């Protein structure tokens, strides 16, 4: 495994400056994929005309949104400001979706501060035009330990609908085998147990997902530099439950490009955006890497490894500031040398 991580990109403006020349989008620009017509736009999710321009004449059947939760932390009126900000991209999402469509939102809740912004957010959603459908929880196995409280291992996921979209239940089965017999019920006068009644040998995911591993550096899908990457398995489950092949999925906060990649893998089209050109570039590179190498991420290497090896300033910066050991060579997928 190549050991060539990048630090969190959101915490280091200087590193951002050094990486920007390697990004093909500037703020306000859009990349259109020639093969499958996905789109990646470098825009503000709250900008009505920019989001409309990204959609063009099209509408999506599914939106998966993962906003930054705490970007106004420590400011006065932070929750109110966060909610007003959310209202804008929620309205943009509503307008970008078909009459019958689905919306999933990943949202945090600060347990040390009255669980904000969760309650304020769900109240705001009551007037958004969307109807609540489910409150899911994904077990986030990288939770932080504490001796004084329950270990925090949950990740909240809200499911809303606009109109009455289809829900494809087969997508909802996990790879966990059923082990418990029971749940007897009379069907046509005969007592049956759950194994006889069910369609599958495996258990349904339900609205508590315990079978998904949080992304970390040993997993192929890991994208170093990203700090909020959602597991592909979760995004794929959402896409399969709430869209069909060929349909359009959108994500206004693309980051590592998980929605774009999951859509590619499952033969959907995706229109995604991020306000940051570096995350737009990472999203595009991740798609290209998957197509060229069949890999879903960089494991413990990083999306800009080739550039870093060739760019002295960038290389020295990482060595001086983070003491990163720059490998002499990178073995691409253990077979060919990149440089």
Ligand X SMILES: C[S@@+](CC[C@H](N)C(=O)[O-])C[C@H]1O[C@@H](n2cnc3c(N)ncnc32)[C@H](O)[C@@H]1O
Task: List residues near ligand X by CB under 6 A.
Answer: 44-46, 66, 68, 226, 228-230, 252-253, 255-256, 258, 273-276, 279
CB 257 within 8 A of CB 272: yes
Handedness of CA 282, 283, 284, 287 (dihedral sign): positive
Closest contact distance (angstroms) between CB of 48 and ligand X is 12
Alpha carbon 230 to its chain's center: 4
Residue 86: which of 250, 253, 249 has the closest Cα?
253
Closest contact distance (angstroms) between CB of 177 and ligand X is 28
Closest contact distance (angstroms) between CB of 251 and ligand X is 7
Nearer to ligand X, 162 or 230 (CB): 230
Closest contact distance (angstroms) between CB of 184 and ligand X is 42
Gap between the Cα atoms of 55 and 95, Å rounded = 10
- Residue 40's DSSP bridge partners are 31, 272
Residue 219, Cβ neighbours under 10 Å: how many?
16
Gap between the Cα atoms of 252 and 108, Å rounded = 17
Nearer to ligand X, 88 or 326 (CB): 88
Nearer to ligand X, 102 or 203 (CB): 102
Closest contact distance (angstroms) between CB of 43 and ligand X is 7
In a 3-state reduction of DSSP, which class is residue 42? coil
Gap between the Cα atoms of 101 and 188, Å rounded = 36
Nearer to ligand X, 229 or 296 (CB): 229
Nearer to ligand X, 274 or 281 (CB): 274
């Amino acid at each position: 495994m190549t050991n060539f991580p990048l630090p969190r990109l959101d915490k280091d403006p200087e590193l951002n400056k050094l990486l920007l020349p390697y990004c093909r989008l500037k703020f306000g620009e859009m990349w259109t994929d020639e093969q499958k017509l996905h789109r990646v736009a470098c825009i503000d999710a709250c900008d009505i005309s920019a989001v409309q321009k990204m959609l063009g004449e099209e509408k999506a059947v599914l939106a998966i949104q993962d906003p930054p939760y705490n970007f106004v932390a420590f400011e006065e009126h932070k929750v109110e400001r966060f909610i007003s900000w959310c209202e804008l991209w929620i309205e943009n999402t509503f307008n970008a979706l078909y009459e019958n469509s689905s919306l999933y939102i990943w949202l945090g809740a600060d347990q040390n501060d009255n669980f904000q912004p969760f309650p304020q957010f769900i109240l705001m959603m009551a007037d958004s035009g969307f109807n609540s459908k489910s409150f899911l929880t994904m077990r986030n196995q990288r939770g932080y330990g504490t001796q004084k409280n329950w270990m925090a291992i949950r990740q909240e996921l809200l499911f809303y609908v606009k109109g009455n979209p289809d829900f494809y239940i087969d997508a909802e089965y996990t790879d966990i085998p059923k082990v418990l017999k029971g749940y007897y019920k009379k069907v046509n006068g005969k007592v049956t147990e759950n194994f006889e009644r069910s369609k599958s040998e495996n258990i349904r995911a339900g609205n508590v997902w315990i079978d998904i591993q949080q992304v970390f550096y040993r997993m192929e899908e890991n994208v170093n530099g990203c700090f909020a990457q959602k597991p592909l398995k979760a995004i794929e489950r959402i896409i399969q439950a709430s869209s069909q092949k060929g349909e359009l999925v959108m994500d206004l906060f693309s980051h590592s490009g998980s929605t774009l990649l999951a859509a590619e893998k499952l033969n959907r089209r995706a229109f995604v955006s991020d306000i940051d050109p570096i995350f737009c570039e990472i999203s595009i590179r991740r798609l290209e890497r998957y197509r060229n190498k069949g890999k879903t991420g960089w494991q413990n290497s990083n999306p800009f490894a080739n550039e870093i090896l060739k760019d002295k300033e960038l290389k020295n910066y990482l060595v001086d500031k983070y003491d990163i050991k720059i490998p002499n060579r990178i073995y691409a997928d253990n077979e060919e040398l990149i440089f």
